[in-house]
């Protein structure tokens, strides 16, 4: 499977330091999947689907990438877990088929988010649960060192307000959680600005050529003013987080 940095592979030479935060999201979802039929959208390498299958009756992991599906089948095979290749914006599942749907870090990759949500609503049972996460565009913008950088994989990133507004057109929003709460101090903002200033002197972009992208793209979370614990926490008024997790109910 080709490694791009977007798909998490927990073990082996392509293991990512971001793995714990992804696993925490799936662990968080376990409370909603017990004894249910689950769809894991954009399942990638399949580790998260396998985790869900420990509690769920049945899990379907879907991904558009054939290499990822092949990897998932060879590494995470279980009796109650099926991996299939498919398009998140055009399902072949029966209506009202799943009790719950998990969609982590997916919607920002899609050309038609509204069509995607319409498909989710169609295959989700009445009163079923959708657990969806996506990075907060405002926070990403604040912690970028290279402010001109745009992810080649993300077609549309959302603020929390934009994401909840879009979701509420299709679902009832029940609760909002966040990972890596963001509350910068003066020192955090000053450190970010100094990093950007120094980066601006690198006219020949030598840092980009010699260092991993993760070391020059984002301010380290501790310096940026984020909590290091990746465990999702309820987002209260005026709280902000790098990753937003929305729990929705399918009211038909």
Domains of the chain, each with CATH number or no CATH:
19-136+151-180+229-249 (3.40.50.150)
Which residues neighbour 11 within 8 Å (Cβ) at sequence distance 6 or greater? Answer: none
Q: What's the angle, vertex CA 234, arms to CA 150 and CA 113, rounded to 5?
A: 40
**Burial label, 159 (beta-carbon count in 10 A; 0-12, 13-18, 19+):** middle
Which residues neighbour 162 within 8 Å (Cβ) at sequence distance 6 or greater? Answer: 137
Q: List the chain pLDDT tens, one digit each, 252 residues.
A: 454 545 556 665 555 666 778 899 999 999 999 999 999 999 999 999 999 999 999 999 999 999 999 999 999 989 999 999 999 988 889 999 999 999 999 999 898 999 999 999 999 999 999 999 999 988 887 777 666 666 666 778 899 999 999 999 999 999 999 998 877 667 677 676 777 666 666 545 655 555 544 545 556 666 666 677 889 999 988 888 889 999 999 997
Q: What is the pLDDT of residues 59-81, one digit of tens each?
A: 999 999 999 999 999 999 899 99
Q: Are 223 and 215 in contact (CB under 8 A)?
A: no
Count CB neighbours of 115 within 10 A.
13
Q: What is the pLDDT of residues 5-43, one digit of tens each?
A: 455 566 655 556 667 788 999 999 999 999 999 999 999
Reading the block at residue 60, the tokens are 């379907």
Interatomic CA distance for residues 228 and 66, integer angstroms: 34
Helices (H) and strands (E) in the chain — how many of each? Answer: 10, 8
Whole-model pTM: value is: 0.83
Q: What's the angle, vertex CA 183, arms to CA 177 and CA 186, rounded to 5?
A: 170
Residue from 52, 60, 47, 50 nearest 33 by CA: 52
Reading the block at residue 31, the tokens are 């409370």
Interatomic CA distance for residues 121 and 182, integer angstroms: 31
């Amino acid at each position: 499977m080709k490694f791009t940095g977007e798909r998490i592979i927990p073990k082996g030479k392509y293991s990512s330091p971001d793995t714990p935060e992804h696993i925490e999201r799936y662990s968080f979802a376990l409370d909603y999947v017990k004894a249910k039929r689950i769809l894991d959208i954009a399942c990638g390498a399949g580790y998260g689907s396998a985790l869900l299958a420990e509690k769920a009756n049945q899990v379907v992991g879907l991904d558009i990438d054939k290499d990822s599906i092949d990897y998932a089948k060879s590494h995470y095979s279980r009796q109650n877990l099926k991996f299939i290749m498919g398009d998140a914006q055009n399902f072949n599942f029966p209506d009202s088929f799943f009790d719950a749907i998990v969609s982590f870090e997916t919607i920002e990759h899609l050309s038609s988010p509204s069509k995607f949500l319409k498909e989710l609503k169609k295959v989700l049972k009445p009163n079923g649960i959708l657990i969806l996460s996506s990075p907060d565009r405002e926070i990403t913008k604040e912690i970028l060192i290279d402010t001109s950088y745009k992810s080649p994989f993300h077609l549309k990133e959302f603020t929390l307000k934009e994401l909840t507004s879009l979701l509420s057109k299709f679902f009832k929003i029940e609760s909002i959680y966040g990972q890596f709460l963001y509350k910068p101090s003066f020192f955090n903002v000053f450190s970010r600005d100094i990093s950007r200033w120094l980066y601006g002197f690198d006219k020949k972009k030598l840092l980009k050529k010699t260092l991993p992208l993760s070391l020059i793209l984002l301010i380290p979370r501790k310096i940026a003013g984020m909590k290091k614990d990746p465990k999702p926490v309820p987002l209260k008024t005026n709280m902000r987080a790098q990753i937003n997790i929305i729990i929705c109910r399918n009211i038909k």
